[in-house]
């Protein structure tokens, strides 16, 4: 039996990783992906790098945190960390999450009922460090011992002991990026305690107090978006230029009107894409344009920074960055006097705009927001576009983005569409509100520093890959082309990486894409198939 | 044991418990409104709850009437509270002990106490209540038996199961042992005192008239242990039954949109005018700038 990981040891043995993860410890994948020797090996962190950078959790490094240069610097960090823990529990600093966080702090029964719901934990071969409760328990003990400064004996009696030092802090920082915040564990908790919220709050505390956040989310993410207009780096001029190419290419290819509309005042719909689509999957915004033009929707895009990029990575790590971007998105909609803002196929954008920022936008800033999924359902079943399901006569399965399903409760409209237009649609097990995260949630899909990509693909993405393979058990071989429908940019990024990693196009003829692409592919008037299998 | 002493202890315990209960509830309720953090399935979503759907599935949801089913919420909580549905589904091994403990050691104990009270109150009218008192004894035996079985099982699990052990603190064990002592003393009293029902009924009547009779030692000890537990309870996480109302109704299932909700807008407006003190450089929160100031300032280009 594996040695269980003691919570008290978290701050001990500074130079050693707290745990070791081995490929052979992970539950095997279904064939033909079950042979260990055929799987890519994980990158080792070079010894040189380890000298200056924290590499003390599990052998993987997502954050490249430099070690403190002196004992004084370490002390300063420890003090800041304690003040951050305290600020999380004050109204003026954290009113927006104070109630859920306080309840999660005080009422966990430590029953471990949530554990087996977590795909990271189970697919790690049940490594204690990845338990949903492990991270939360470290935080809880630190709060009681150092932030609330309860009597040491009382703390030990009620909550258990823990040390606080650089090792504790650096491990906890890295550990805050070993959870995708999918909230599957929260669904299973009988108390209503939320371990995903602990992840969220820890990340926030590191960012808002210590100024620590992954560069992919902060410098290259929210900061770039607020400065330039998009986390892709596209300025308003560049985005319009790029979209011009997309419009032309896809109008020609499809024989339909794929032209975008820009800055139409008073439009019914302001379409807000994740701008990553324009760069990585231009067929997605093109498909939206084709559908809306064909259905006669009065729609527009905005060219005002950052109103053409619906990304809001603040959701994953920083409330203020979230609010800054949300306010700018709202201001764009207000200025254009549109009737509603339509969320493109991007899960975290749905959550950031439709629910989280709902209670920070006051008065006429709170423009109506709608998910593209019911909007598309309305069009598909209205008869405004002619569809021929036989054009989609290949096996299709649906990945449910956590932010759209578990967090927003949008479950059935996408299924009604797929059942209508894809004769060979089949579900993954489990699905809908019980779905598993793609493994790229909470910003992971865009994080690949050091050897983090190895972790997020072979560990946090393992459950999803298993589900995808299992959904096509009746036609596993490469002779049948198969489509994974993932109506979310981040999920698509993660699924792209998983399929490439395991060479799944070659071995299983698997491709992935969004929902709109399937709708356009089924349109009677389209010149040639919209979905391309060989690109 | 002298009845008046037991009466004072018991009244004091009930008072501490009630005050603790109210304080806990108020403390949570008084926390500010939080950002939306709902989690599907939300059982009040009529016609959609069974698969976890919400009103956001509707085309232009704001134009549709909100259809809520409080009955669904009630049913969900009923199954969760009485049968520990979540534990049954996700942690079967623990359910075999947790369920008898909760169902027997808590809910049936409340039923038994209520039956003894009923017997005592009806007894004031001169009616013979021996049938109710006998029922109360029967329920008590089952309650204490199940409770003792549950706490012993949970104790063993917490101390030996490699999944639970690292998270077990001395307080977990003390809590269980404390509860166990109440069940065992109760069982010992019932089986060693031939007229337990009559004594208990008489004692409750005496509590009302402020002239309680003395109780045999073991029964007195049982009353003292139960009273001490009532005093201890408000200081522990075992008050999670209060918290559970909020975690479910106020967080998981609170999906109220802000537009059109003036009260909520006003509260949020006030919260946004507070001044945070986070010290990261990209925020420059100096304790003077408000949330609105920080959220609306431009990032340095
Ligand atoms: S989070 Fe919930 S399920 Fe998990 S240990 Fe705590 S109380 Fe139990
Ligand atoms: S939120 Fe998801 S990834 Fe994180 S601990 Fe819970 S189940 Fe695991």
Sketch the domain layout of chain B as residue ranges: 86-236, 262-296
DSSP A143-182: IIIIIS---HHHHHHHT-----SHHHHHHHHHHTTS----
Of the candidates A97, A114, A192, which has its C-beta nearest B252's C-beta?
A: A192
**B100: its two tokens:** 């008898």
- Residue of A105, A107, A109, A138 to mutate, ligand 1, most atoms within 8 A of C-beta: A109
Residues B150-198: tens digit of each pLDDT: 999 999 999 999 999 999 999 999 999 999 999 999 999 999 999 999 9
The candidate with the shortest Cα–Cα distance to B42, out of B6, B14, B82, B69, is B69
**A98: its two tokens:** 């104070």
Over 70: is that where the pLDDT of A2 sits? no
A271 touches chain B (CB under 8 A): no
Which residues are CB-neighbours of A112 under 8 A, at least 6 positions away? A131, A133, B91, B94, B163, B164, B167
pLDDT band at A4 (very low <50, low <70, confident <90, very high): confident
**B231: its two tokens:** 């005093």
Contacts of B274 in chain A (CB under 8 A): 91-92, 95
**Backbone torsion region of residue A398, taken as left when φ is above 0, otherwise alpha when ψ lies between -120 and 50, otherwise beta:** beta
Is A208–B283 a contact, with Cβ atoms under 8 angstroms apart?
yes
CA distance B115 to chain A (A): 29
- Residue of A118, A128, A133, A140 to mutate, ligand 1, most atoms within 8 A of C-beta: A133
Average pLDDT over residues A259-278: 97
Helices (H), chain B: 3-29, 70-83, 85-90, 92-102, 109-123, 130-160, 170-192, 196-209, 217-232, 240-245, 262-272, 291-296
Can you tell me the distance from the alpha carbon of A244 to that of A249, in angstroms, rounded to the nearest whole number? 9
**Contact B73/B41 with Cβ under 8 angstroms?**
no
CA distance A97 to chain B (A): 5
Write down the pLDDT at residue B300: 64
Residues A425-441: tens digit of each pLDDT: 999 999 999 999 999 99
Identify the nearest ligand to the CA of A406 by its number: 2
CA distance A532 to chain B (A): 30
Gyration radius of chain A's alpha carbons: 23
Is A320–B40 a contact, with Cβ atoms under 8 angstroms apart?
no
Over 70: is that where the pLDDT of A464 sits? yes
Which residues are CB-neighbours of A80 under 8 A, at least 6 positions away? A209, A210, B279
Write down the pLDDT at residue A149: 82
Q: Which residue on chain A is closest to B51 by alpha carbon?
A: A433
Of the candidates B48, B59, B239, which has its C-beta nearest A375's C-beta?
A: B59
**Contact A397/A428 with Cβ under 8 angstroms?**
yes
Average pLDDT over residues A375-401: 97
**Contact A495/A408 with Cβ under 8 angstroms?**
no
Average pLDDT over residues A306-326: 97
Residues A72-113: tens digit of each pLDDT: 999 999 999 999 999 999 999 999 999 999 999 999 999 999
pLDDT band at A1 (very low <50, low <70, confident <90, very high): very low
Q: Containing H/E element for A320?
A: helix A319-336
Q: Is the CB of A196 under 6 A from ligand 2?
A: yes
- Up-side HSE of residue A287: CA atoms within 13 Å toward CB? 24
End-to-end Cα distance, chain B: 79
**Pairing assessment for the beta strands A340-343 and A269-272 based on DSSP bridges:** parallel
The candidate with the shortest Cα–Cα distance to A316, out of A433, A420, A440, is A440
> Which CATH number is B86-236's, of 3.30.9.90, 3.40.50.920, 1.20.950.20, 1.10.10.10?
1.20.950.20
**Contact A407/A351 with Cβ under 8 angstroms?**
yes
Over 60: is that where the pLDDT of B226 sits? yes
| Beta-ladder partners of A511 | A483
Q: Is pLDDT larger for residue A217 or for residue A152?
A: A217
Q: How many CB pairs under 8 A join A and B?
A: 272
Is B32–A91 a contact, with Cβ atoms under 8 angstroms apart?
yes
Average pLDDT over residues A391-414: 98
Residues B202-223: tens digit of each pLDDT: 999 999 999 999 999 999 999 9
Of the candidates B89, B240, B291, which has its C-beta nearest A107's C-beta?
A: B240
Q: What is the pTM of this model?
A: 0.96
Over 90: is that where the pLDDT of B298 sits? no
Rounded to the nearest integer, the mean pLDDT of chain A is 96
Residues A137-150: tens digit of each pLDDT: 999 999 999 999 88
Of the candidates B51, B274, B276, which has its C-beta nearest A412's C-beta?
A: B51
Identify the nearest ligand to the CA of A442 by its number: 2
Average pLDDT over residues A496-523: 97
Q: Which residue on chain A is closest to B294 by alpha carbon?
A: A320
ipTM: 0.95
Sketch the domain layout of chain A as residue ranges: 7-210, 218-377, 382-521
What is the percent of chain A with per-residue pLDDT over 90, rounded to a whole number?
94
Write down the pLDDT at residue A535: 67
| Beta-ladder partners of B68 | B45
Q: Is the CB of A109 under 6 A from ligand 1?
A: yes
Q: Is the CB of A440 under 6 A from ligand 2?
A: no
- How far away, in angstroms, is B271 Cα from ligand 1 center? 30
Residues in chain A: 535
| Span of A10-24, A292-306, B173-187 with lowest mean pLDDT | A10-24
CA angle in degrees (0–180, nearest 5) for B117-B22-B122? 10
């Amino acid at each position: 039996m594996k040695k269980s990981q003691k919570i008290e040891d978290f701050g001990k043995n500074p130079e050693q990783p707290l745990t070791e993860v081995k490929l052979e410890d992970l539950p095997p994948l279904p064939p033909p992906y079950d042979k260990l020797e055929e799987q890519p090996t994980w990158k080792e962190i070079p010894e040189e790098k380890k000298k200056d950078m924290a590499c003390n959790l599990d052998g993987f490094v997502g954050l490249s945190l430099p070690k403190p240069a002196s004992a004084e610097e370490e002390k300063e960090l420890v003090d800041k960390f304690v003040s951050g823990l305290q600020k999380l529990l004050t109204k003026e600093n954290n009113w927006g999450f104070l109630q859920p966080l306080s309840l999660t702090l005080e009422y966990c029964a430590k029953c471990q009922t949530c554990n087996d719901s977590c795909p990271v934990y189970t697919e790690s071969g049940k490594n204690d460090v990845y338990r949903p409760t492990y991270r939360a328990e470290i935080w809880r003990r630190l709060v009681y011992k150092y932030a609330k400064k309860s009597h040491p004996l009382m703390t030990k009696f009620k909550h258990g002991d823990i040390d606080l030092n650089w090792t504790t802090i650096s491990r906890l920082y890295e550990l805050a990026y070993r959870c995708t915040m999918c909230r599957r564990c929260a669904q299973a908790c009988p108390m209503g305690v939320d371990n995903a919220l602990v992840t969220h709050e820890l990340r926030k505390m590191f960012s808002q107090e210590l100024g620590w956040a992954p560069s992919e989310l902060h410098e290259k993410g929210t900061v770039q978006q607020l400065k330039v207009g998009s986390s892709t780096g596209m300025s308003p001029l560049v985005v319009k230029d790029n979209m011009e190419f997309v419009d032309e290419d896809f109008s020609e290819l499809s024989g339909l009107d794929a032209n975008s509309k820009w800055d139409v005042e008073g439009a019914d719909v302001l379409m807000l894409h994740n701008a990553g689509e324009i760069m990585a999957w231009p067929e997605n915004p093109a498909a939206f344009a084709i559908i809306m033009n064909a259905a006669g929707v009065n729609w527009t895009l905005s060219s005002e920074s950052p109103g053409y990029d619906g990304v809001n990575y603040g959701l994953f790590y920083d409330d203020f960055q979230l609010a800054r971007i949300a306010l700018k998105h709202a201001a764009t909609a207000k200025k254009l006097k549109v009737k509603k803002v339509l969320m493109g196929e991007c899960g975290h954008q749905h959550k950031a705009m439709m629910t989280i920022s709902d209670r920070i936008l006051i008065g006429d800033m709170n423009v109506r927001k709608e998910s593209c999924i019911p909007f598309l359902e309305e069009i598909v079943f209205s008869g405004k576009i002619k569809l021929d399901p036989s054009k989609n006569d290949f096996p299709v399965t649906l990945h449910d983005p956590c932010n759209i399903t578990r967090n927003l409760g949008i479950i059935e409209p996408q299924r009604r569409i797929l059942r209508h237009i894809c004769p060979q649609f089949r579900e993954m097990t489990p699905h809908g509100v019980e779905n598993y995260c793609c493994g790229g949630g909470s910003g992971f899909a865009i994080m690949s520093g050091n050897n983090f990509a190895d972790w997020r693909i072979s560990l946090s993405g393992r459950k999803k890959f298993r589900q995808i393979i299992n959904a096509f058990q009746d036609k596993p071989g490469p002779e049948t082309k198969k489509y994974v429908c993932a109506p979310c940019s981040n999920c698509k990024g993660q699924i792209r990486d998983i399929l490439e990693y395991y060479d799944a196009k070659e071995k299983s003829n698997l491709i992935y894409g969004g929902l709109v692409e399937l709708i356009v592919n089924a349109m009677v008037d389209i010149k040639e198939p919209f979905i391309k299998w060989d690109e | 044991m002298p009845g008046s002493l037991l009466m004072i202890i018991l009244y004091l315990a009930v008072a501490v418990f009630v005050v603790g209960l109210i304080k806990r509830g108020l403390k949570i309720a008084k926390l500010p409104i939080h950002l939306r953090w709902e989690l599907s399935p939300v059982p009040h979503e009529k016609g959609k709850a069974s698969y976890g759907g919400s009103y956001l599935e509707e085309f232009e949801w704001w134009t549709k009437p909100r259809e809520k089913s409080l009955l669904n919420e009630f049913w969900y909580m009923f199954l969760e509270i009485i049968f520990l549905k979540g534990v049954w589904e996700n942690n079967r091994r623990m359910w075999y002990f947790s369920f008898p403990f909760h169902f027997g050691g808590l809910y049936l104990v409340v039923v038994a106490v209520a039956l003894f009270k009923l017997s005592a109150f009806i007894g004031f009218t001169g009616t013979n209540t021996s049938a109710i008192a006998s029922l109360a004894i029967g329920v008590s035996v089952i309650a204490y038996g199940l409770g003792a079985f549950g706490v012993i099982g949970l104790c063993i699990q917490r101390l030996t199961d490699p999944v639970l052990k690292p998270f077990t603190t001395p307080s977990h064990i003390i809590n269980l042992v404390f509860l166990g002592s109440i069940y065992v003393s109760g069982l010992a009293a019932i089986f060693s005192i031939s007229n337990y029902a009559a004594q208990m009924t008489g004692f409750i009547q005496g509590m009302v008239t402020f002239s309680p009779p003395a109780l045999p030692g073991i029964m007195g000890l049982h009353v003292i242990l139960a009273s001490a537990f009532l005093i201890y309870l408000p200081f522990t996480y075992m008050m999670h039954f209060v918290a559970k109302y909020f975690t479910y109704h106020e967080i998981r299932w609170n999906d109220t949109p802000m537009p059109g909700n003036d009260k909520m807008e006003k509260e949020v407006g006030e919260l946004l005018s507070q001044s945070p003190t986070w010290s990261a450089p990209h925020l420059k929160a100096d304790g003077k700038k408000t949330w609105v100031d920080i959220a609306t300032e431009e990032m340095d280009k």
